[in-house]
Chains A and B, each alone.
Chain A
Amino acid sequence: MPEQNLLSGRGNAFIAMAALVFLYIPIVTLVALSFNQNDLTTIWSGFSTKWYAAVLDNSDILRATKNSLIVAAVATALATATATATALGVVRSSSAHRGGVEGLLSLPLLVPEIVTAVALLMLFVLTGMPLGLLSVILAHTVFCIPFAYYPIRSRLAGLDPALIEAAADLYASPWKRFVRIELPLLSAGIFAGALLSFISSLGDFVITYFVSGPGSTTLPVYIFGMIRTGVTPEVNALSALFLLASVVMITVAFVITKRVADVARAGPAP
């Protein structure tokens, strides 16, 4: 088949493989070196898990992890609730209303992080708000809202409006329709959205770096400090653990959204 000829040229396959190798070499290097016995981080001298033990023994790291989890959990809850309401509000609304809402929602993704970071820093400092966990949570919710919104919105767009109409015809109240029909059907989208905002909150460095205070250091900010001072392979072990956590979460999100896609393709469930 000539079409196959064009698209599956050997050159393309080679570049695709090279791209995947390029994407994974740093990750593999990092994980491999985190098991290095040596203090000099890049010279291999033997297998050891002592850096992992050091990470788990470091009370600053545990505190930063706790901060990260608190921030991610609260920001995700706020963002997911807001995003779900927004998605329900635009789905049957006028295109002008939807356009305006989605324009504003995409702003945190369009404006460079560093700009959002300094703008929020100025807002907090000039209004006298102390920099701490609360300011970090408020800042994270800004970019978590769009991350939560898009999966919910696309799930909602795939719903059959007849289901809601049928419930209305059967005298279900608007609240009952929401709780019994829309929410269960949307749950996979809401879960995927929540997971994506949780991952992006957990991973955020730039914005947190600006709006956090001394007691509200999160894990990425702590890792940045470790890299800056150039300490032991402990940072490799910590980074590897962090990578592992992200990979697990994104795999879960992927499996769920794929299952959603499969269900949608197969038609509404009986």
Chain B
Amino acid sequence: MNPPRARDLALTAPALLYLTVFMIIPLLLMLYVSMLERAPFGGVIWGDHTGVAYQKLLFERDLAGNLSFNGDYIAIFARSFRLAAITTVLTLVISIPTALYMTTLSRRRAAFVLFLVTVPFWTNLLVRNFAWILILRNGGTLDQGLQWLGLTRESLDILYTPLATGIGLTYSFLPFMILPTYVALERIDKRLIEAAFDLGADRWRVLSRVVLPLAMPGILAGAILVFVPCLGAYVSPELLGGGKSLMIGNLVQAQFGASRNWPFGAALALVLVAVLMLALLLWRFLQRRMVRTA
């Protein structure tokens, strides 16, 4: 392999330099801050290195200075995982039939549906989540609609629950799943499907033994694209979840806002990144195994 030419290196240098200064260095700085002591009014005390921020994830220190186990933060991590996993599964369940349907459309119509799916993806996340407040809140459009139909009399009390966060997350990230699933299904050689039918397979078998395995890399890519931002979500739980369904993102934000505990916030953010890296490695592993079997 030839070493890159000077011209190519020079052309890529600005981007590399920029992202090193404003992405790599901030992440390294975060790692360093997570090992420092907090200063009383935000910021950090330079010099002393401690593991206090990481200890705080699992233990709390009472007034007498004794450590005892504290499961509060673990519970928030667990909730975030649960919500991210449920959202990923829900978007998958909606996306596969939707994408299958799109592959049956004419080129022109498929492009139009693709456009309809893409538009919400590019519109403002904050505004789209705010719209759900109008729908879900007590006396909101959902309540009004159901009462008008005579289905309910009372408010459903959905807003400010984990259910509302789940709806917001599914809504926010559904396009991330539909797009790669559609691309993967579209690429399948249609003759393979015909061959399976000719050999006597029924619809379900063709789907489970031919179509889905072939589309699996795309579906997994979609799953990662949904799971990653969900786990670090901030906007949906902040606007729709209320105080009882905090996620990791809100916990990180709180350390830089009201709690003024930068080292703990940095440690939380790093644990989040570490967990996501593990998920990505698992994904790579699964994808490689699937390529080998296919």
Residue of A nearest to B191 (CB): A3
CB contacts (< 8 Å) of A186 on chain B: these are: none
State the Cβ distance, A99 to closest chain B Cβ, in Å: 11
Residue of B nearest to A96 (CB): B1
Do residues A94 and B23 form an inter-chain contact, with CB atoms below 8 A? Answer: no
With an 8 A cutoff between CB atoms, is B147 at the interface?
no
A113-146 residues with Cβ-Cβ distance < 8 A to B are: 113-116, 118-123, 125-126, 138-139, 141-142, 145
Do residues A122 and B262 form an inter-chain contact, with CB atoms below 8 A? Answer: yes
Do residues B120 and A107 form an inter-chain contact, with CB atoms below 8 A? Answer: no
CB contacts (< 8 Å) of B22 on chain A: these are: 120, 123, 138-139, 141-142
State the Cβ distance, B189 to closest chain A Cβ, in Å: 11
CB-CB under 8 A for A83 and B123, given A42-B134, A92-B8: no
Residue of B nearest to A145 (CB): B15
With an 8 A cutoff between CB atoms, is B169 at the interface?
no
**Which of A114, A138, A205 is B125 in contact with, Cβ under 8 Å?**
A205
A77-92 residues with Cβ-Cβ distance < 8 A to B are: 82-83, 85-86, 88-90, 92
Residue of A nearest to B117 (CB): A23
CB contacts (< 8 Å) of A110 on chain B: these are: 228, 276, 280
| A: contact size bracket | 35 or more
CB contacts (< 8 Å) of A104 on chain B: these are: 15-16, 19-20, 23-24
Rounded to whole angstroms, the CA-CA distance of A110 and B280 in the bound complex is 10
State the Cβ distance, B212 to closest chain A Cβ, in Å: 12
With an 8 A cutoff between CB atoms, is B56 at the interface?
no
CB-CB under 8 A for A112 and B249, given A16-B98, A123-B26: yes
Interface centre among B14, B19, B193 (most CB of A within 10 A): B19
Rounded to whole angstroms, the CA-CA distance of A251 and B112 in the bound complex is 11
Rounded to whole angstroms, the CA-CA distance of A158 and B175 in the bound complex is 26
CB contacts (< 8 Å) of B41 on chain A: these are: none
CB-CB under 8 A for A42 and B144, given A89-B11, A199-B122, A239-B127: yes
Do residues B118 and A114 form an inter-chain contact, with CB atoms below 8 A? Answer: no
CB-CB under 8 A for A26 and B23, given A8-B104, A97-B12, A254-B115: no
Do residues B135 and A29 form an inter-chain contact, with CB atoms below 8 A? Answer: yes
Do residues B19 and A142 form an inter-chain contact, with CB atoms below 8 A? Answer: yes
CB contacts (< 8 Å) of A11 on chain B: these are: 97
State the Cβ distance, A92 to closest chain B Cβ, in Å: 7
CB contacts (< 8 Å) of A6 on chain B: these are: 193, 197, 203, 206-207, 211
With an 8 A cutoff between CB atoms, is A191 at the interface?
no
Rounded to whole angstroms, the CA-CA distance of A115 and B43 in the bound complex is 17
B side interface size, CB within 8 A:
95
**Which of A94, A118, A251 is B265 in contact with, Cβ under 8 Å?**
A118
Rounded to whole angstroms, the CA-CA distance of A9 and B97 in the bound complex is 9
With an 8 A cutoff between CB atoms, is B289 at the interface?
no
Do residues A5 and B203 form an inter-chain contact, with CB atoms below 8 A? Answer: yes
Rounded to whole angstroms, the CA-CA distance of A23 and B7 in the bound complex is 46
Rounded to whole angstroms, the CA-CA distance of A4 and B134 in the bound complex is 40
Do residues A89 and B43 form an inter-chain contact, with CB atoms below 8 A? Answer: no
CB contacts (< 8 Å) of A246 on chain B: these are: 122-124
Do residues B5 and A23 form an inter-chain contact, with CB atoms below 8 A? Answer: no
B242-294 residues with Cβ-Cβ distance < 8 A to A are: 249, 252-253, 256, 262, 265-266, 269, 272-273, 276, 280
A232-259 residues with Cβ-Cβ distance < 8 A to B are: 235-236, 239, 242-243, 246-247, 249-251, 254, 258
With an 8 A cutoff between CB atoms, is B45 at the interface?
no
CB contacts (< 8 Å) of A41 on chain B: these are: 134
With an 8 A cutoff between CB atoms, is A2 at the interface?
yes
Residue of A nearest to B7 (CB): A89
Interface centre among B98, B122, B127, B141 (most CB of A within 10 A): B127
B188-242 residues with Cβ-Cβ distance < 8 A to A are: 190, 193-194, 197, 203, 206-207, 211, 228-229, 231-235, 239
A200-227 residues with Cβ-Cβ distance < 8 A to B are: 200, 202-203, 205-206, 210, 220, 223-224, 227
Rounded to whole angstroms, the CA-CA distance of A205 and B130 in the bound complex is 13
State the Cβ distance, A253 to closest chain B Cβ, in Å: 8
State the Cβ distance, A30 to closest chain B Cβ, in Å: 4
Do residues B266 and A223 form an inter-chain contact, with CB atoms below 8 A? Answer: no
Write 8 A-B pairs (CB below 8 A) sorted by A numbering.
A11-B97, A20-B117, A29-B131, A42-B140, A89-B10, A112-B273, A227-B239, A246-B124
7 further contact pairs, Cβ within 8 A, besides A104-B19, A242-B127: A6-B206, A6-B211, A118-B266, A200-B122, A203-B123, A239-B131, A246-B124
